[in-house]
A and B are shown apart, each in its own frame.
Chain A
């Protein structure tokens, strides 16, 4: 009678060892195509550096961690900080109250300037007022185009989401679209809703919103496929972030739909997708520029008292359309991850 009750643990290290051995064997054959080796041809232009005294600038955003878009803003800001001899303190929290705390934190550190996004302007009001009281210049970027002036921010760099949406809608009209689906990857997100609302405002055809779970790509793919099946007359799928456009392109294939994909924002893979025609066009709000300009502006203000827009007009960084015609021009910047 088999009554042994020994766990099969002896077998287990053997399995791990086998896996490791297999890994080593496979390591022998490396890839001849693609990969880092192929990429390493990209050159990196080193810019000069200012000799002004070291200053400290805080960039405080409402970004959720791990978003490609915010990464570009940060990269822009870092580039400007490098060039202007600025010590950049980057912090972020999607939670408005926490973001306000981060502003307080920057005030406590006695920074020389603060750049913030006003995604939820009312929540930031008190913190901004405190910073001003402490004599710290504050500039706005990305979010808060309707509120920066009222809150007394020095200047503002960004794209009006509604304006971008409206421009997007007009572009769709130009292309003769009739029925567009606007894919929102985070339900209840103000800026995303504003983009779709902007599209709806100017677009002559029908616009339907579609909500997907942005952290679950297979679900995004399925849901867009389902929508295309449900309404076969859809001729444009509008996504609000580059990764979702690439997924939407797969969904179009799955659903055997004739719809085209257009998107807000760019990334590296998007360039190739536009070249290949998988994605029709993308609207870029140039986040790199937003980050760069806001840090640079604080440096200029500190060293030379300059500021843009006279406290009245925002500095618009977008929308910039990227399609097959001009994609080649920006391809190399996108490959570097700065566009």
Chain B
């Protein structure tokens, strides 16, 4: 973006005053359709995703099956659903390190509550939503009240939740995992909503994949077509300026953190209803995967720039790479190294595309 700017601005002041009738600033009109498309934040990730797909399509024959794609999409979707609110939060200029364990917290809440009080599981589901939103609100409120970096505050809540997950689970169940709620009332219904499968052309696709795409569309609409979206960009781009022109920065930030809470709730419910029980230690480290997906998808780490489609592609790349290595049957000792190399390559393609887009 910036190189364009430097080229445009002087162009404006340099135009000779003697020829006021000359066609105005041809330079900016030269931004052809192709170039403008390339300048979209997610396009680099899209090209990287296609490259990764083609690569594994070529080297791993099982990868070519439709059912394999469904499997890749499943892992991507669970990660991607969380990556969406995390990306919005990043565009709004903040991080949430508690996002990974918050997923486990909401799953544990629903599971323990339903089991201990022998309630219909839907009660647990709704209380878990309230808890997850409260965690987000707590993060956001603390952030705007103290002015401390979100990195610090959410690191605190990450540790608090991690400890509480374990301790509360042990208090109630006497174990470090929750009791299975699969035989309880409402479970089958909730499983249909959060963890069912839909057959498409003989391939069973997990319902999370559809939710993922719907949420991504909603997030895109929110970001680009609503006032709140405008506020997100402004808050992340220049908080002081946003405040000065009357953007409700505090509201925006708290809402974004609560959005992460809502995402954590949804993924938590999926995990609960597809695996019946929850391990209290799960989720640690996943917060970074969400951030990684957002960054691969073109969101700026410093905020103010990005898209909702980007993290979708970012999560898809991550899912393709981590599953593709298995489909290709590469030496598993190197798994992490392969993963790192592939992600780095994807990021480089992304970067290169963006350079091409802004180069003059």
Q: What is A's interface to B at a CB cutoff of 8 Å?
A: 5, 7, 9, 16, 19-20, 22-23, 26-27, 29-39, 64-68, 70-71, 187, 208-211, 213, 215-219, 221-223, 225-227, 229-231, 243, 246-247, 250, 254-255, 267-269, 272, 337
Are A222 and B75 touching (Cβ within 8 A)?
yes
Nearest 4 Cβ contacts at the A-B interface: A66-B281, A35-B118, A222-B75, A31-B185
Distance in angstroms from B214 CB to nearest chain A CB is 18
Are B176 and A9 touching (Cβ within 8 A)?
no
Distance in angstroms from A99 CB to nearest chain B CB is 18
Q: Which of A7, A229, A267, A269 contacts B248 (CB 8 A)?
A: A7
Query: Which residue of chain B has its CB nearest to the CB of A256?
Result: B67
Contacts of B328 in A (CB 8 A): 230
Are B119 and A27 touching (Cβ within 8 A)?
yes
Contacts of B333 in A (CB 8 A): 209
Contacts of B329 in A (CB 8 A): 230-231
B74 part of interface (Cβ distance < 8 Å): yes
B282 part of interface (Cβ distance < 8 Å): yes
Q: Which of A211, A229, A243, A269 contacts B332 (CB 8 A)?
A: A211
B51 part of interface (Cβ distance < 8 Å): no
Contacts of A27 in B (CB 8 A): 119, 123
Are A226 and B281 touching (Cβ within 8 A)?
no
Report, as a range, how many residues of chain B touch the other chain. Answer: 35 or more
Are B71 and A254 touching (Cβ within 8 A)?
yes
State in angstroms the CA–CA spacing of A222 and B326 once bound together.
10
Q: Which of B122, B169, B284, B286 contacts A26 (CB 8 A)?
A: B122
Main secondary structure of the interface of A (DSSP, over half): helix
**How many residue pairs bridge A and B at CB < 8 Å?**
199
Contacts of B182 in A (CB 8 A): 34
Contacts of A68 in B (CB 8 A): 175-177, 279
State in angstroms the CA–CA spacing of A250 and B326 once bound together.
18
Contacts of B274 in A (CB 8 A): 218, 221, 250
Q: Which of B120, B130, B319, B332 contacts A210 (CB 8 A)?
A: B332
State in angstroms the CA–CA spacing of A66 and B322 once bound together.
25
Are B119 and A222 touching (Cβ within 8 A)?
no
Are A187 and B251 touching (Cβ within 8 A)?
no
Contacts of B279 in A (CB 8 A): 66, 68, 217, 243
State in angstroms the CA–CA spacing of A259 and B257 once bound together.
43
The listed residue with most B CB atoms (<10 A of its CB), out of A71, A208, A219, is A219
B277 part of interface (Cβ distance < 8 Å): yes
Contacts of A210 in B (CB 8 A): 326, 332
Beyond known contacts A31-B184, A250-B275, A272-B180: 16 more, CB 8 A cutoff:
A5-B248, A7-B248, A9-B251, A30-B117, A35-B118, A215-B281, A215-B282, A218-B74, A218-B274, A219-B78, A222-B323, A226-B72, A229-B65, A230-B60, A269-B177, A337-B175
Contacts of A71 in B (CB 8 A): 170, 175-176
Q: Which of B184, B204, B275 contacts A217 (CB 8 A)?
A: B275
20 contacts between A and B (CB under 8 A): A16-B130, A23-B126, A30-B123, A30-B185, A33-B183, A36-B117, A36-B179, A65-B163, A66-B279, A209-B332, A215-B281, A222-B322, A223-B323, A226-B68, A246-B276, A267-B175, A268-B177, A268-B180, A337-B173, A337-B175
B207 part of interface (Cβ distance < 8 Å): no
State in angstroms the CA–CA spacing of A337 and B172 once bound together.
12
Are B118 and A34 touching (Cβ within 8 A)?
yes
Contacts of B252 in A (CB 8 A): 7
Distance in angstroms from B196 CB to nearest chain A CB is 13
Q: Which of B185, B280, B327 contacts A66 (CB 8 A)?
A: B280
Contacts of A37 in B (CB 8 A): 118
State in angstroms the CA–CA spacing of A7 and B283 once bound together.
33
User: Which B250-308 residues have C-beta < 8 A from chain A?
Assistant: 251-252, 270-271, 274-277, 279-286, 289
Are A31 and B186 touching (Cβ within 8 A)?
yes
Distance in angstroms from A329 CB to nearest chain B CB is 20
State in angstroms the CA–CA spacing of A211 and B329 once bound together.
12
Q: Which of A19, A29, A226, A272 contacts B323 (CB 8 A)?
A: A226
Are B118 and A22 touching (Cβ within 8 A)?
no
State in angstroms the CA–CA spacing of A157 and B176 once bound together.
23
Q: Which of A7, A208, A250, A267 contacts B177 (CB 8 A)?
A: A267
Are A269 and B326 touching (Cβ within 8 A)?
no
Are B323 and A34 touching (Cβ within 8 A)?
no
Are B119 and A33 touching (Cβ within 8 A)?
no
